Structure 1
Amino acid sequence: MRVRHKPWAAEKLAEYPEYAITDLIDLKGKWQSAFKKKGPLHVEVGSGKGQFIVGMAKQNPDINYIGIELQTSVAVMALDKIIEAELPNVKLLNTDGGLLSDYFEDGEVDRIYLNFSDPWPKNRHAKRRLTHENFLDTYRKILIPKGSVHFKTDNQGLFEYSLASFSQFGMVIDQVWLNLHDSDFEGNIQTEYEEKFSSKGQPIYRVEAHFPSK
């Protein structure tokens, strides 16, 4: 995602601590205290401009959501959507999604969303894919027993790789969609990328999988 650098973005994030969490030191293992009421904790790794995480928070007010976005100039666009919606059940972290175990205690998260992640198509970059076994091991640790991963992409190669990676890691594949928008799936919240790719007629792939009990 190429976005024009916004030198003021970090300062704006700091101005809204009720939505954008910048001090993570005391929240590991205590994320429920960051929300007005307790509820299942769902995390999106790579939340982009925030359309998905805000849409999910609106749709499910009893679930607490955390969107993680590394690029500050992108995260601030997600912040604008959260501010406008005034949602009490969504927080934004401007940090590296590869460091989840630094921010979340083992068994603290109920579900992880991976939406239109960078496919890193070259084999030598496989370890950077968010469905590589190294990332899956981190997800397994921070998720509750039988915690789930919901994954969407337009990239067939990444989808096939991810299915194999989930299976080889011992995950249980619950459901698979080879063309999400041509299915009877209800309640789908689209990302900005999803709208772009589907408008061109590209199929959207989706999979739900969970880890067996620890």
Structure 2
Amino acid sequence: MRLRNKPWADDFLKENDDIVVSSASSYKGSWKHAFQNDKPIHLEIGTGKGQFIANMAKQHPDVNFIGMERAKSVIVNAVQKVKDAEVDNVRLINDNAIDLRDMFSKHEIDLIYLNFSDPWPKNRHEKRRLTYSLFLEQYQHIMKRGSQIVMKTDNKGLFEYSVVSFSQFGMVLEEVTLNLHELHDPLNVMTEYEEKFSKQGQPIYRCRARFTE
């Protein structure tokens, strides 16, 4: 999908530096200081337009949320949603999740969300999938022992691949749901994609996988 350029995006992000972190690596090991409290930190990789993280922050004021989104023309929407939600427990990073160990210290993150990640369906692109083993190694390094990854997707192929990848990595599968909205989970917060696909009658898959070390 081609993203429309927004020439005002740079200025908008700079104007909202209380939300957007300009240099994530400078906070490595000190994210609690960025939030000025000792609350748990949850990381969403691929924040998109920000509906999920803004609503989660409202629903869970006792948690600090960090959202990563590489597309500048997309993250500006997330910034606006966070502002509209009037929450102070969200920080956003406009960067790519190439190596999270450059941004976070060992055991600094309590939970990771992977919401509707790019499925990269071609076999030659397997290493780009956010549930590929090399990414799982990064997650394990920055997450506290026994922490969870919560993944949601509409893509059956990516879901099946991820469940196998989690298992082969030695993670414990605490939930494997093939149609999330049949559960009527009152705590489930939907992303923009989730709303769109569920209205079309598409099943939404969810998995909770926990590291054992």
Name the structure 1 match of 2:3. 3
TM-score of the superposed pair, with normalisation by structure 2: 0.97
Q: Quick one: percent identity of the two aligned structures?
A: 53
User: In 2, Cα distance between the equivalents of 1:40 and 1:19?
Assistant: 18
Using the TM superposition, give the Cα deviation of residue 98 of structure 1 relative to its aligned residue in structure 2, in angstroms: 2.4
Using the TM superposition, give the Cα deviation of residue 2 of structure 1 relative to its aligned residue in structure 2, in angstroms: 3.5
User: In 2, Cα distance between the equivalents of 1:18 and 1:128?
Assistant: 31
Bigger drift between 148-157 and 25-34 goes to 25-34
Q: How many residues align?
A: 213
Show CA shifts across 1:43-64 (max 9, x none): 0000000000001100000000
Show CA shifts across 1:174-203 (max 9, x none): 111110001142310000000111111000
TM-score of the superposed pair, with normalisation by structure 1: 0.97
Name the structure 2 match of 1:87. 87
Contact 2:26 2:103 in 1 (8 A): no
In structure 1, the gaps of 5 or more residues are none
Bigger drift between 10-19 and 191-200 goes to 10-19
Name the structure 1 match of 2:155. 155
Name the structure 2 match of 1:14. 14
After the TM superposition, which segments of 4 or more aligned residues of structure 1 sit over 4 Å from their partners?
none
Contact 1:109 1:142 in 2 (8 A): yes
Contact 2:20 2:93 in 1 (8 A): yes
The 5 Å alignment of 1:1-214 reads 1-213=1-213
* Superposition RMSD in Å: 1.0
In structure 2, the gaps of 5 or more residues are none
Contact 2:69 2:96 in 1 (8 A): yes
User: In 1, Cα distance between the equivalents of 2:2 and 2:114?
Assistant: 19
User: In 1, Cα distance between the equivalents of 2:98 and 2:136?
Assistant: 11
